[in-house]
Amino acid sequence: MDAGTWIVESRRLIDQWILDDVAGMGSEKGSVEEAMQYSLTAGGKRVRPQLVLAGGAYVGIEPDRLKPAALAVEYLHTYSLIHDDLPAMDNDDMRRGRPTSHKVFGEATAILAGDALLTEAFVKMAELYDLGFPASGVVKAMGTLAYKAGRQGLVRGQIQDLASERQEISVKALQEIHEKKTGALFEASLTIPAQLVGDDQAAFELGRFGRHFGLAFQMVDDILNVVGDAARLGKATGTDAGLGKATYPRLVGIKTARSLLSEHVREALAGLDPARAGLLDGLLRFAAERTW
């Protein structure tokens, strides 16, 4: 199967898993589940759960057995979007063409929906034990997810991002923000399957791949915000410049940004075992060349 087909099919599978899982939660009016469901079914690309499945393919785990981990990383990602959009943070009214959570449910419920999604990620992770993975692998994977989501990962990225607005920052500082905000969860998503089966070498290789994939992915986002087609992207372009956000195109120009992107693609692939790198290679090239 080529990467393009795999992306479409795995996304369909992940969307179905999410629909099934939120249906099981119930979502009566005014409940936190209603707000969780709203954001989970807003039509994301599902890149992080796809990375879980692709990391699984690298170490020989069937997709179905990774369902709880795939849900966990998407729930964790969705929590971070809801909190990032809050008035006190980026103050975004729209996300993926729909009003943001706090616009629909109010700030209190949006904060709590984020809290509940973050917590639910660990409920899901614990379920991996029931699917027959060794408990030691599950503990490691849970620890990795928490570490990469927390004060040394995602949370740090967001606090540094907020601090950098309307500031002149260095390329190095920008890279650190992206490493935390995007790279950390990409890395965790890819590492988790290897940790589940206790394959330390693969965990190392996949972690390195994930870090560079995350940076490449974020760079494409930055570039598309300048040169992309708003209709195809499903969101406005030029917004980063308007907000005075530090981005690669702004700091080094489009041309250098593109060459940095190629470098991360090369670096990402360099550490993988070529014999089983096919899907990961395809996914990365697809992401690097996307126009949406």
Beta bridge partners of 99: 94
**Residue 139: CB minimum distance to a copy of itself, A:** 5
The 78-107 contact track toward a copy of itself, x by CB under 8 A, reads -x---x--x-xx----------------xx
Single out the residue of 274, 172, 183, 291 nearest to residue 233, CA to CA: 291
Residue 31 near a copy of itself by CB under 8 A: yes
Q: Is 131 in the site for a copy of itself (CB under 8 A)?
A: no
Nearer to a copy of itself, 177 or 268 (CB): 177
Cβ neighbour number for residue 167 with a 10 Å cutoff: 9
How far apart, in whole angstroms, are the C-alpha atoms of residue 125 and residue 60? 19
Rule CB under 8 A: is residue 252 a binding residue for a copy of itself? Answer: no
Shortest Å, Cβ 118 to a copy of itself: 6
Q: Is 244 in the site for a copy of itself (CB under 8 A)?
A: no
Q: Is the Cβ of residue 162 or residue 270 nearer to a copy of itself in the bound state?
A: 162
Contact flag: residue 119 with a copy of itself (CB under 8 A): yes
Question: Burial level of 200, CB count in 10 A (0-12/13-18/19+)?
Answer: exposed
* Residue 33 within binding range of a copy of itself, rule CB under 8 A: yes
Cβ 9 to a copy of itself, closest distance in Å? 30
Give the range of 7-15, 130-138, 187-195, 209-217 binding a copy of itself by CB under 8 A.
130-138
Q: How far is the CB of 230 from a copy of itself (least distance, A)?
A: 28
* DSSP sequence for 162-203: HHHTTS---HHHHHHHHIIIIIHHHHHHHHHHHHHTT-HHHH
Here the tokens at position 68 are 């709880």
Alpha helices in the chain (DSSP H): 3-25, 32-40, 47-59, 67-85, 101-105, 107-127, 135-149, 154-164, 171-178, 184-196, 200-227, 230-233, 239-242, 248-270, 278-289
Binders of a copy of itself among residues 36 to 55 (CB under 8 A) are 36
Q: Which of residues 144-173 bind a copy of itself (CB under 8 A)?
A: 145-147, 149-151, 155-156, 158-159, 162-163
Q: What's the token pair of residue 189?
A: 């998503």
Residue 140 engages a copy of itself in binding (rule: CB under 8 A) = yes
Closest by CA to 75, choosing from 123, 127, 110, 139, is 123
Contact (Cβ atoms closer than 8 angstroms) between residue 227 and residue 254? yes
CB of 68 to a copy of itself, least distance (A): 11
Assess 118 for contact with a copy of itself (CB under 8 A).
Answer: yes
Which residues make up the interface to a copy of itself (CB under 8 A)?
A: 25, 30-33, 36, 79, 83, 86, 88-89, 106-109, 111-112, 114-116, 118-123, 125-127, 129, 134-136, 138-140, 142-143, 145-147, 149-151, 155-156, 158-159, 162-163
